[in-house]
Amino acid sequence: MTDQAYNFAYLDEQTKRMIRRAILKGVAVPGYQVPFASREMPMPYGWGTGGVQVTAACLVPEDRLKVIDQGADDTTNAVSIRKFFQRVAGVAVTEATQEATLIQTRHRIPDTSLSAGQILVYQVPIPEPLRFLEPRESETRKMHELEDYGLMHVKLYEDIARHGQIATSYAYPVKVEDRYVMDPSPIPKFDNPKLSNSPALQLFGAGREQRIYALPPFTHVVSLDFDDHPFVPSKADHACDLCDASDSYLDEVIIDDQGGRMFVCSDTDYCGGRRAAGHVGRLGEEAI
Amino acid sequence: MTLLALQGGFADAPIASAHAFRAALTALSQPGQILSVTGAAPPAPVSVAAGVLLLTLVDGTTPVHLAGRYDCAALRDWLTFHTGAPLVAPEAASFALGTWADLQPVGRFAQGLPDYPDRSCTLIVEMAALSNTGSRLTGPGIADHARLNLPEVAAFQANRARFPLGFDAFFTAADQIAGLPRSTHVEDF
């Protein structure tokens, strides 16, 4: 049931128009961070206020919404955002990646391949990839204008000088269509290859920082690297202990105080789907 | 203002504009796709699709330029009543409406600034019909290539050459819309 005290999808129409115009500019200039007048939402900054505003501006009543937090459908952030939109937009919800028309995500891209017509909305904490290298907005804006991304390569080089390899493992910077360097939000770098040439539309919303950016379907996205230190999408070198998947991103879980641990898929829908199909991992039990 | 200006808006604005925006989003993120929209009944000579786009995207914060015969009293009244958008000269417009001939020269519309390429104009170009024939489109949003009957090629090639500056365009005919962002490469074929 939609709560009739709210406009459809919570935001007022004037706000949605403003956000929608920003999304269209973002789509037209892939990777460029479009400023928008972010509103206060009924949840704190850092809980996905940017993603929620983008989702609210995109939702239609026929949508089937999936919300994930680090790959999981059943964590606090995911559950509360899903309930929020069930209440204020009356949309159907699902946990199945393939059935969803709009997926809001915090820090993961689903392991199940996305398809044409789907929209993936990312929650972004710090949209500016250069921010930790240059704190002044006036300077980073100029760097984007001049395509001056040398500083980012210096940062990756310093990783190599100190650690012998590029130590950046999440929020790994990418270059979009050979123009803008973009922060893909704090997804593990394992997910970076899925950004490029995705059949789904990818939208990024940063509420506190008031930026929206986008990757249209089939946009060319390259992770920054060096000829002699090519980009490697890494993951834990194990198979999932529940579903035995060796191609999914894994979380490490401490299971006792004797140093025991297990690795499980971070994508709960992917893992559950595999277990239902009969795959059993090291610590898994046969599905009944 | 006549009573006519008060009619032809969205019956259920939140739902109608949500559907219209999804169509506009699909059109601009997948150039070459032609989609149908409904819900607006703007005065002649405006197409239903252009009326829907205006009601969905335009408000008091977005100056609009009406070009050629679209700069008529009926449309001025209709747009003012339903959106409150200021009607301005081409140089100051966030949105511009007209036929391709009316909108010439397109160089006078805002192209964005090098540090703020989003401060650019969006053209709503009224067409007789839309079809997936003619110019060959490649770029973001397009898997291999797409086709769209653009009114001209050279202007859109020049627009792409200025990337990330440039204007974005929606093409409208009857109840159909298609989009062409500045990121699309256009070739005559």
pLDDT < 50 regions, chain A: 288
Chains A and B form CB pairs within 8 A to the count of 110
Task: Beginning with the edge strand found earlier in the chain, give each strand of the sheet holding B176-180 in spatial order.
Answer: B35-36, B176-180, B168-173, B122-126, B95-99, B64-66
Per residue in B16-42, pLDDT tens? 999 999 999 999 999 999 999 999 999
CB B1 within 8 A of CB B77: yes
CB B45 within 8 A of CB A221: no
CB B184 within 8 A of CB B138: yes
Question: Counting beta carbons within 10 angstroms of the beta carbon of residue A276, is it exposed (0 to 12), middle (13 to 18) or buried (19 or more)?
Answer: exposed
Q: Is A181 on the interface with B (CB under 8 A)?
A: no
CB A42 within 8 A of CB A88: no
Q: What is the pLDDT of residue B157?
A: 97
Verify whether residue A243 is a known catalytic residue: yes
- Tokens 């739902």, residue located: B15
Q: What is the pLDDT of residue A141?
A: 97
Model ipTM value: 0.97
Per residue in A247-285, pLDDT tens? 999 999 999 999 999 999 999 999 999 999 999 999 887
Q: Report the SS3 class of residue A41.
A: coil
In this complex, do A216 and B25 lie within 8 Å of one another by their Cβ atoms? no
Number of C-beta neighbours around residue A145 at 10 A: 14
Instruction: Give me the phi and psi of B165, to 5 degrees please.
Output: -80, 170
pLDDT band at B1 (very low <50, low <70, confident <90, very high): low
User: Which chain A residues touch B168 with a CB distance below 8 Å?
Assistant: 24-25, 28
Q: What is the pTM of this model?
A: 0.96
Verify whether residue A278 is a known catalytic residue: no
Q: What is the pLDDT of residue A180?
A: 98
pLDDT-above-90 percentage for chain B: 95
Catalytic entry in A48, A205, A207, A243: A243
Q: Is A24 on the interface with B (CB under 8 A)?
A: yes
Q: Is B84 on the interface with A (CB under 8 A)?
A: no
Q: Is B73 on the interface with A (CB under 8 A)?
A: no
Which of A12, A19, A60 to mutate to test binding with chain B, by most B CBs within 10 Å of its CB? A60
List the structure tokens of A89.
């937009």
Minimal Cβ distance to A23: which of B25, B114, B142: B25
Verify whether residue A58 is a known catalytic residue: no
User: Which chain B residues touch A141 with a CB distance below 8 Å?
Assistant: 115
Catalytic entry in A50, A265, A273, A281: A265
